[in-house]
A and B are shown apart, each in its own frame.
Chain A
Amino acid sequence: MSDTISNHLRKFPQENFLLEDNVMHNLSDDDNLADKGILDSLGIMELIQHIEEQYGVPFLDCDITLDNLNSIKSITTFIVSRQS
């Protein structure tokens, strides 16, 4: 299930933000999304809304942290932990 979620998460920035073609392809699941220029502060909000709608996982204020939103892997881990 984690793989499905992380693959899906990878598509979201590519389809919704103005990114160069290979940015997501070259991204590892551990890469920091801010350092790679993929998610700025407004992009984070769009991603959070998408996750809430897609997975039914609510983000509380206290969930919007670096630990939960740092990378594809950390976001996937958060979603899976809330679903279980």
Chain B
Amino acid sequence: MKDESWVWIFPGQGSQEPRMGEFFWNHPDLQSLKKSLLEVAPPALDEFRQKGPETVLSTNLHSSLCIYITSILAARYLNNCGLSPSVTLGFSVGQDATLVAAGALDCSAGLKLLVERAHLMDRESAKESQGMLAVMGLPVKTVQTILDEITREDGRVYISNFNASQRFTVAGLLPDLNLAADLFQKARALRIQSVATTGAWHSPFMQGARADFEKHLAPIMFERPIIPVLSNVTGKPFEWDHLKNDLSLQLDSPVLWHQSIQWCLDQGYRHFIEVGHGNLLSKMLSFIDRKAIVVNATSVTKT
């Protein structure tokens, strides 16, 4: 593969599964980097990645870190193949890895930040029974009208991810999500699926986490990247002066994934590499532009 204008996209939660990322975790050229990351990770992370149980692997902390480390190793693998990104963007927890890949953040510091992020999000989600729901096949206006209706009934459900045209994730309290599912069904949604998360991520339910995350971000040193790194909060490249603000806002703001991909397409980018495990983002991207070329990092070889 020739190093041209490739957008590197980094997956978030939902892509984890036992033995994820084996290609990168076992690659002989990546053992030193893996060791340095595991030294600052919680104990037995690699054992959980390999053997599960899925109940542990799917916790916010373990899934975040396994996804992150897989992406960091994949990015190094691509570097070793002679590639570097023209643009980076990551979905939710994937956003930290984008900053590392763009040279803005040290990979160990990124991992420590994710540990704090997961603890804070889990603390907020433990306060109430929260969850998320994916809905497909309804226009945003219809989805929002339904959520407004729930709000009028004193419920609280919010759009938490703009994934693609007519594809959203909503977050809220479980009883309110059940009501939302009924209303989406009545509106003839094509698919409604619960999302395997333990909290109402990227919604106002995470406001408490955001406030404390700001304190953890304050002492972190970021290098100014020389390539565009897209913000989940704006769907556009981070403005340097707003970087830390956007990173904390991301916890209780929707992920503007569709808008981010559209920004890349509007700039003329058509080639994407999914830097991490699986192909969830590749499939999601095909809902936005079926002509875009998307490959996984495992398919890249040294030239």
Contacts and interface: CB of A to CB of B under 8 A. Distances in A.
Contact of B193 (A41, A46, A52, A64): A41
B293 to A, nearest CB: 13
Contact of A42 (B165, B189, B283, B290): B283
A49 B290 contact: yes
Contacts of B136: 41, 44, 64
Q: How large is the interface on A (under 10, 10 to 19, 20 to 34, 35 or more residues)?
A: 10 to 19
A49 B190 contact: no
> Helix, strand, loop or mixed for chain A's interface?
helix
B286 A40 contact: no
Interface string B259-303: 000000000000000000000100100110010000000000000
B134 A66 contact: no
The residue in B188, B280, B290 that gathers the most chain A C-beta atoms within 10 A of its C-beta is B290
A23 to B, nearest CB: 18
A64 B283 contact: no
Contacts of B165: 61
Given A44-B136, A66-B137, A61 B166 contact: yes
B11 to A, nearest CB: 13
A41 B2 CA distance: 33
A63 B23 CA distance: 38
Contacts of A66: 137, 188-190
A45 interface: yes
A75 B176 CA distance: 32
Given A61-B165, A64-B166, A65-B190, A49 B286 contact: yes
Contacts of A34: 190-191
Given A41-B167, A45-B283, A61-B165, A67 B191 contact: no
Contacts of A65: 137, 188, 190
A41 B191 contact: yes
Given A41-B134, A64-B166, 7 more contacts: A40-B193, A41-B190, A46-B283, A61-B165, A61-B166, A66-B137, A66-B188
B217 to A, nearest CB: 33
Interface residues of B, number: 16
Given A41-B134, A45-B283, A67 B167 contact: no
Given A49-B290, A64-B137, A69 B190 contact: yes
13 contacts: A34-B191, A41-B167, A41-B190, A41-B191, A41-B193, A44-B191, A45-B286, A45-B287, A46-B283, A61-B165, A64-B137, A65-B188, A66-B188
Q: Which 9 pairs, one residue from A and one from B, show the smallest C-beta to C-beta distance?
A: A41-B191, A61-B165, A66-B188, A41-B136, A42-B283, A66-B190, A45-B283, A45-B286, A65-B137
Interface in B108-137: 134, 136-137
Contact of B188 (A52, A64, A67): A67
B160 to A, nearest CB: 16
A44 B284 CA distance: 11
Interface string A52-75: 100000000100111101000000
A9 B167 CA distance: 24
A64 to B, nearest CB: 6
A49 B280 CA distance: 15
